[in-house]
Chains A and B, each alone.
Chain A
């Protein structure tokens, strides 16, 4: 019964710490990615065959060294981070908006509408999405926007299922019944009474979506369908680094470490946000 007065507070405290640390790490990385390239004297596309695979040094601004074409890795890493973060955020946003709206609508409507809407999701699940994305990429111009949308379109299905399940449970609760009795229209019930109460789950799932989106993006880039040279992303840089692993380990280690730090920060941020968003844990 009263065995839990401590755990709540402990979770609250660690949640605050996790948000603070992982959030500031992400902010630092984002700021560096935005400003870094313009502060450096180099650019991300100039090939300089005389300076191939140089080790990182503080002289002449080659902080991360150069790649096998002599391009400055610091600037490339920073602009790659920019692309990766953008892909992650836009893709997750697409899946968040689509998935939550669709799942909550299906769950709240229930019955036949729900069954029909979820069979559509099942049908979409059955499609080999990667191939669909590849087809899209081949058929249309390879543009940024398309990658974002394609990756978001993969992820919203899971989100819709999770949100629908939560909604089915929540709509049986008495506060939803009370809202209906007062006369709150269905759409408002969903967005004012149901969605805020499943945010905790959604946030956690979004933080799982972000790494997934990043990985899909680097996979597409590896196949030559994602970000096109000379532009780059962290995934593309890691793939490039793999081929130079023996001669220039830094070309793999630096973007890989950065990628890992970004993924971990998102995970911690998600955990922290879940605890912070749970009103039951909010301190008095």
Chain B
């Protein structure tokens, strides 16, 4: 008999046409690990909540949930509270919301321990500390006294895992546990989960949209779509021979770093966009009368972009990539430095730029729905720039422009009268893209434009941008945290760390032979949808801290750091045609055997 048995689970809501989960069966053996994958809205989280008995009261649940032979469905809250606290545990996507902001990490652990496991406050304290050490929280004694907001995202998720392990559960349900984390931190948390499983034999139900995470962490996989089970089996066999068409599509769209890079753009004279020694600093809110200057978010940043070229900018959260994008388009003011378009220097603020300048430089934002005005219909959203830049056009011509922009973006005309909230994420992003492209800009800046989208939709949007580029000779700056996206669409790649350029190289060169240890660490940390791949040991430690350390900004996390890195800031220089800012760029060989096979 398996540890967890779910039979015919059906979850439906009044008013919804289809059930959220439809007759789902799943089982997990003791010590087993099952990956539950599917795109957003496929019912993964609903399933997990149903197992835990945490669904909202409006949900109608049918079917059976058996844990170790004990029925959990239809039990009272009192029974569930006692039972699941000791035998099941759950880790949520956003540890910020799952932890109580008013209690220290230690208190939260202690409360659970005192409630279910131990009676003595001292014993609870030492047990809690031990748990924090076990999840490899650095400086556990200090974190014990810290409040959740004082911890970084990765540390919070570790604390959350410690909380889940309090009662030594037999099953851990992890719902997108690393989605909110940076790749390097994600790799650390996943390897922690793996080690904990090896030590304690706890079973894992890992819910994720990321096939790479499943490939590296689960023995079995279960693919869901629209509440139904598509396919189930051992991870290897599903990845090697997917039976269902939809699974094949998902696998094709999955994260892989061995895509062929796009073809080189035709050589043309002169850069179209030049960013020269840009510095951005944020001021803290005025405290008293003195305004404190914060450390630079972006420092001495220079790069150029050729016509028809795509430059990918990668970096972890907080590295300043969004500030850089917003500063280029003029939404936030730079402290110094300049941005030139077609050889002419642009005004710092977008309000001072001419209509013609604005027309040539457009931007697409991360959250597609938030970038569309909720009170406007799709038709008027796309028509607005046309009316503004070509006021001489008649109503009919304007409508034709909108229609052709929509059809190029793959949008159905039936959507003209829709409001943004009535669109799917992918449709909304297409609307945002057609609003930008209807002006026929020279340069389009995409800030995490596909981060909020599911795998197959993401693929389609990337294809759309590439097609537009070939059609109209558009130059793209593609800002993302996702190396696979960069691999797929950019000609050159710029790796950014704490507001500075770590490395700038051709796509092919960067992935084949990274020059900067940070690039190497990023490449290693990406979970790839290939269960055969043997993941390398991640040589990166810690997380980005708020304060910029002296010397090389990366040295506290770098596996190759030497004394010089601590004292002297590396300058950006050219090594074999690659721009890199590392003292040891010439001597280190960071080539990886496992990246390409």
Listed in ascending order, the chain A residues whose CB lies under 8 Å from chain B are 1-3, 5-6, 9, 173-175, 177-184, 186, 192-193, 196-197, 199, 279-280, 282, 284
Q: Is the pair B375, A196 in contact by a Cβ cutoff of 8 Å?
A: yes
B388 within 8 Å of A by Cβ?
yes
Tell me which of A5, A183, A279, A284 has the highest count of chain B C-beta atoms within 10 A of its own C-beta. Answer: A183
Q: What residues make up the interface of B, taking CB atoms closer than 8 Å to A?
A: 13-16, 20, 41, 45-46, 56, 58-59, 326, 329-331, 350-351, 355, 358-359, 361-363, 365-367, 370-376, 384-385, 388-389, 419, 421-422, 432, 435-436, 439
Contact A183 B419, beta carbon cutoff 8 Å = no
B421 contact from A173, A192, A279, Cβ within 8 A:
A279
Q: A1-B45, A178-B435 are in contact. Are A186 and B351 (CB under 8 A)?
A: yes
Residue with the highest number of chain B CB atoms closer than 10 Å, among A180, A182, A284: A182
Q: Does the CB pair A174–B365 fall under 8 Å?
A: yes
4 nearest A-B pairs in the assembled complex, by CB-CB distance: A196-B375, A174-B371, A3-B56, A174-B365
Most chain B C-beta atoms within 10 Å of own C-beta, residue among A1, A2, A181: A181
Q: Is the CB of A174 within 8 A of B367?
A: yes
Pairwise interchain contact B385-A2, C-beta atoms closer than 8 A: no
Closest CB in chain B relative to A156 CB, distance in Å = 23
| Bound Cα distance from A280 to B58, whole angstroms | 21
Q: Give the docked Cα–Cα distance between A180 and B58 (Å).
A: 42
Set of chain A residues within 8 Å of B367, measured between Cβ atoms: 174
Which residues from B are CB-within-8-Å of A178?
363, 365, 371-372, 432, 435-436
Find the A residue at minimum CB distance from B55: A3
Given the interface pairs A2-B20, A181-B331, A183-B388, the reply to whether A197 lies near B59 with Cβ below 8 Å is no
A3 neighbours in B (Cβ, 8 Å):
13, 56, 58-59
- Check A196–B373 contact: CB distance below 8 A: yes
Return chain A residues, CB-CB under 8 Å to B331.
177, 180-181
Give the secondary structure class of A's interface: helix
Contact A6 B374 (CB under 8 A): no
Contact present for B41 and A2 (CB under 8 Å): yes
Task: Pick 17 A–B contacts, CB within 8 A, sort by A.
Answer: A2-B16, A6-B15, A174-B365, A174-B370, A174-B371, A175-B371, A175-B372, A178-B435, A180-B351, A181-B329, A182-B362, A183-B385, A184-B388, A186-B351, A280-B374, A280-B421, A282-B422
> B384 and A182: CB pair below 8 A?
yes
**Contact between chains at A197 and B20 (CB < 8 Å):** no
Find out whether the CB atom of B14 lies under 8 angstroms from the CB atom of A279.
no
Q: Contact: A182 with B370, CB < 8 Å?
A: no
Complexed CA–CA distance, A6 and B16 (Å):
8
* Distance, CA A197 to CA B420, complexed state (A): 13
**B593 smallest CB distance to A (angstroms):** 42
A175→B421 contact, CB < 8 A:
no
Chain A residues with Cβ below 8 Å from B376 are: 192-193, 196
Contacts of B385 in A (CB 8 A): 182-183
CA distance A201 to B20 in the complex (A): 33
Known: A1-B41, A173-B370, A180-B351. 17 other contacts (CB 8 A): A2-B46, A5-B15, A6-B13, A6-B16, A174-B365, A174-B370, A177-B363, A178-B372, A182-B385, A182-B388, A184-B388, A196-B373, A196-B375, A196-B376, A197-B373, A197-B375, A282-B419
Q: Which residues of chain A are near B330, meaning CB under 8 Å? A: 181
Tell me the smallest distance from the CB of A274 to a CB of chain B, in Å: 14
Name the contact of A183 in the complex, choosing from B13, B355, B372 (C-beta under 8 A).
Answer: B355
